């Protein structure tokens, strides 16, 4: 018995039939482009909202990326960051100026792009120097109180009265 005889016994088919089966399988794989699939994005575009000072992770997941293709992020400033392995963009110590449209792109023909809008929230801050301090007025008098607050998104300001015990 030859070594090819072992394959014949295991597979239950002759060598010529095996060669024909392998050729048909390879032909089918090449025609169906199983190995030549174009790179594409795994997830749909999304918006990302993060608080200033935190870490922002902009997702970009790609399937079927080959050695002949590259992934790059384009920032609102126009700067391009090429990526080789992990395609999520990490921005540390996020600032309000980092907000904007980021584009993850694959250098296919034509170029494939996925846009991610980054929103940066800034916690509300009350500017004491431009806001009213404690005021005492007589009942019936008109008083104007000012509260200068800023943040992103712009904060809502609510006024309420606290009762103070009368002085004895």
d(CA 64, CA 39): 5
Residues 78-114 have pLDDT tens digits of: 766 666 667 889 999 999 999 999 999 999 889 999 9
Of 85, 77, 44, 41, the C-alpha closest to 61 is: 41
Q: Which pLDDT score, from 0 to 100, does residue 6 have?
A: 41
Residue at token pair 């590259």: 70
DSSP 76: T
Q: What is the pTM of this model?
A: 0.63
Q: What are phi and psi of 47, to 5 degrees?
A: -95, 150
For the chain, list residues with pLDDT below 70.
1-36, 79-85, 166-168
Residues 65-78 have pLDDT tens digits of: 887 888 888 887 77
């Amino acid at each position: 018995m030859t070594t090819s005889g072992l394959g014949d016994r295991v597979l239950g088919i002759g060598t010529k039939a095996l060669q024909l089966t392998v050729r048909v399988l390879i032909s089918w794989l090449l025609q169906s482009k199983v190995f030549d699939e174009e790179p594409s994005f795994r997830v749909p575009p999304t918006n990302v909202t993060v608080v200033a000072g935190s870490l922002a992770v902009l997702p970009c997941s790609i399937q079927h990326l080959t050695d002949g293709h590259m992934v790059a992020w384009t920032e609102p400033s126009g700067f391009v960051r090429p990526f080789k392995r992990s395609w999520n963009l990490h921005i540390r110590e996020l600032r309000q100026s980092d907000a904007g449209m980021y584009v993850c792109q694959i250098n296919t023909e034509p170029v494939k792009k996925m846009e991610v809008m980054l929103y940066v929230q800034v916690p509300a801050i009350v500017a004491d120097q431009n806001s009213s301090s404690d005021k005492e007025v007589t009942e019936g008098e008109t008083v104007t109180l000012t509260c200068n607050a800023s943040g992103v998104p712009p904060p809502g300001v609510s006024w309420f009265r606290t009762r103070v015990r009368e002085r004895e």
